[in-house]
Structure 1
Amino acid sequence: MTPTIADKRRRFAELHQAPGCFVMPNPFDIGSAKYLASLGFPALATTSAGMAFAAGRTDGAVDRAYALSHFRDLAHATDLPLNADFEAGFATDAEGVYESARLCVGAGVAGFSIEDYSGDRNAPLFPLSEAVERLRAARSAIDASGETVLLTARSEAILREAGGLTEALRRLAAYAEAGADVLYAPLLRTTEEVAEVVRVAGKLPVNVLVGWPGFTRRQLEDLGVKRISVGGALARVAWGAMMRAAKDIAESGRFDAFAGLPASREIEAALVERPSQ
């Protein structure tokens, strides 16, 4: 029996309460979502970078309407719950974040993140009071919907080199007080940094981004991490393979990169078959 959106949302919430740590990889289109679902992952997440690349745009250059359409496509593409990278909510103020969050819930996602990146290179983060207000607006929109949708608070302090871990911890603590369900600070590089975020989170689950070799799922689980995502890494894997093959053709007239490719029927099998729930 195909799960409903409500079923997926309940399952996503249960994953955050269950023991252990789960990996939530990031597809960049319907095909990659279906393939990842065929491997038995318990949930999926969107990637703003992968979504933008697939649309022929740079990360952050996709508008709200496009993002919501992308979320809706992926939320209905598989039987798995979907978490959305909703960037800064595609809004200039808290009222706009409320409306965006309301629309995001309507797209069928099981969760979404709101980050504190302002888009201004001279002042990369929203002032903390404003960031908290924006997060509370998203929380209010979810609560008003009556749906079980998890809100991830994401601090860009490390990624944007705007105060580093110290600022990220300060902000995550405030976001926890503002009603976040999950805390997330991209670009943690060491076990010590991960442990500090887990400490500040307390009973709240923590998401860790892994987009490079280093951490293992077991290591992060032992540190108390609940959820692992890979951001745009899988999209970059796909782009990397395509770029190398295309350059080889353009520069040397060779097609060696086509050796060892999966057969079309192998790809198609993953697209038409859904794992049992």
Structure 2
Amino acid sequence: MPFRALHVPGDPLIMPNPWDVGSAVLLQNMGAKALASTSAGAAFARGKPDGALSLDEMLGAATEIDAATRVPVSADLENGDADTPDGAAAAMCRAAEAGLAGASLEDLGKDGVTYPTALAIERVEAAVAATRDSRLVLTARSEGLLTGTLPRDAVCARISAFAKAGADVVFVPGLTSLEDVTAVVQAAGDTPVSVLIGARSPDLTIANLANAGVARVSVGSGMARAAYGAAMAMMRGVQATGQITYPDNTASFADIEALLK
């Protein structure tokens, strides 16, 4: 099924975020219908902090996953490593040319400053125009709630503008309440909405998000951070006690290898 068709409001696509090829194959073989790279997870896997990867490195991480799997793959390309509309469009074109099913574009510069509204909209418009004849599913992201730089009303106004500009999907990381989710879904109109479930959003169950009309759910860097957190806990434990303690959910060789065949 085409990637775009998997986005059904009220029946959200569960799209996990692998951080390398091994985790991608494992998640696919556990039943994921689509995958999304995570810029943070890809950076961690390369020994770098979030935001430190170049566009080439972000594309490389996503295309490695795409080459190793059979399901649609969407690339987290942050701001496209460019501030201008032409630069944003060029980044999305590169994702389309690489054969990726989707790519996301943020309204946040590498300096952590949210773009002015007019520029943010122009970037989405340029990306939409440049990829119109491709199969790329373009996700327009507003980072204002996640970074605390924009109030909800301003973020919703951007989401509405991104939808009108032709984005295939809109995405607001940092939503923590059903009230916020409902406001974004209403602002998006007929455009599918993607929601990231974070560790501190217990009300954002799949059932609640489906009832709110959400079309896609992801976890961003959550799986990568969980894996790294387990490794850190083991190292800290042996340093503190002299004993190595494995987490209760440590997978066996047999479990992992069965999913990698």
Whether these two folds match at TM > 0.5 is: yes
- 1:230 maps to a residue whose letter is V
Task: Report the alpha carbon displacement of residue 259 of structure 1 after superposing the two structures with TM.
Answer: 6.3
What is the match of residue 208 of structure 1? 195
What is the match of residue 262 of structure 1? 251
Q: For the Cα contact (< 8 Å) 1:71–1:108, is it kept in 2? A: no
> RMSD of aligned C-alpha atoms?
1.6
Secondary structure of 1:219's counterpart equals helix
Task: Report the alpha carbon displacement of residue 227 of structure 1 after superposing the two structures with TM.
Answer: 0.4
2:61 to 51, 64, 70: 70
Task: Report the alpha carbon displacement of residue 19 of structure 1 after superposing the two structures with TM.
Answer: 6.0
Task: Report the alpha carbon displacement of residue 62 of structure 1 after superposing the two structures with TM.
Answer: 0.4
Name the CA shift for 1:83/1:164 in 2 (closer, same or farther; >3 Å). Answer: same
Mapped to 2, the partners of 1:119 and 1:260 lie a distance apart of 36
CA deviation vs aligned residue, 1:38-72 (integer Å, no higher than 9, x gap) = 11121111111111111111111001111111111
- 1:84 maps to a residue whose letter is A
> What pairs with 1:1-277 in structure 2 (closer than 5 Å)?
11-17=2-8, 20-121=11-112, 124-143=113-132, 146-212=133-199, 213-214=201-202, 215-257=204-246, 261-272=250-261
Mapped to 2, the partners of 1:21 and 1:225 lie a distance apart of 6
What is the match of residue 7 of structure 1? none
So what's the TM-score if we normalise by structure 1? 0.89
- 1:106 maps to a residue whose letter is E
Task: Report the alpha carbon displacement of residue 127 of structure 1 after superposing the two structures with TM.
Answer: 1.0
Mapped to 1, the partners of 2:152 and 2:256 lie a distance apart of 41
Mapped to 1, the partners of 2:248 and 2:181 lie a distance apart of 40
Q: After alignment, is 231-240 or 242-251 more displaced? A: 242-251
Q: For the Cα contact (< 8 Å) 1:211–1:232, is it kept in 2? A: no
Secondary structure of 1:158's counterpart equals helix
So what's the TM-score if we normalise by structure 2? 0.94
Q: For the Cα contact (< 8 Å) 1:75–1:109, is it kept in 2? A: yes
Secondary structure of 1:100's counterpart equals helix
Structure 1: gaps spanning 5 or more residues? 1-9, 273-277
Secondary structure of 1:256's counterpart equals coil
Structure 2: gaps spanning 5 or more residues? none
Q: For the Cα contact (< 8 Å) 1:208–1:225, is it kept in 2? A: yes
Name the CA shift for 1:245/1:202 in 2 (closer, same or farther; >3 Å). Answer: same
Task: Report the alpha carbon displacement of residue 18 of structure 1 after superposing the two structures with TM.
Answer: 7.5
Name the CA shift for 1:138/1:83 in 2 (closer, same or farther; >3 Å). Answer: same
Task: Report the alpha carbon displacement of residue 167 of structure 1 after superposing the two structures with TM.
Answer: 1.1
Q: For the Cα contact (< 8 Å) 1:71–1:107, is it kept in 2? A: no
Name the CA shift for 1:19/1:156 in 2 (closer, same or farther; >3 Å). Answer: closer
Aligned residues: 259
Task: Report the alpha carbon displacement of residue 179 of structure 1 after superposing the two structures with TM.
Answer: 1.3
Secondary structure of 2:126's counterpart equals helix
Secondary structure of 2:195's counterpart equals strand
- 2:144 maps to a residue whose letter is A
Mapped to 1, the partners of 2:138 and 2:249 lie a distance apart of 41
Name the CA shift for 1:221/1:260 in 2 (closer, same or farther; >3 Å). Answer: closer
What percent of counterpart residues are identical? 38
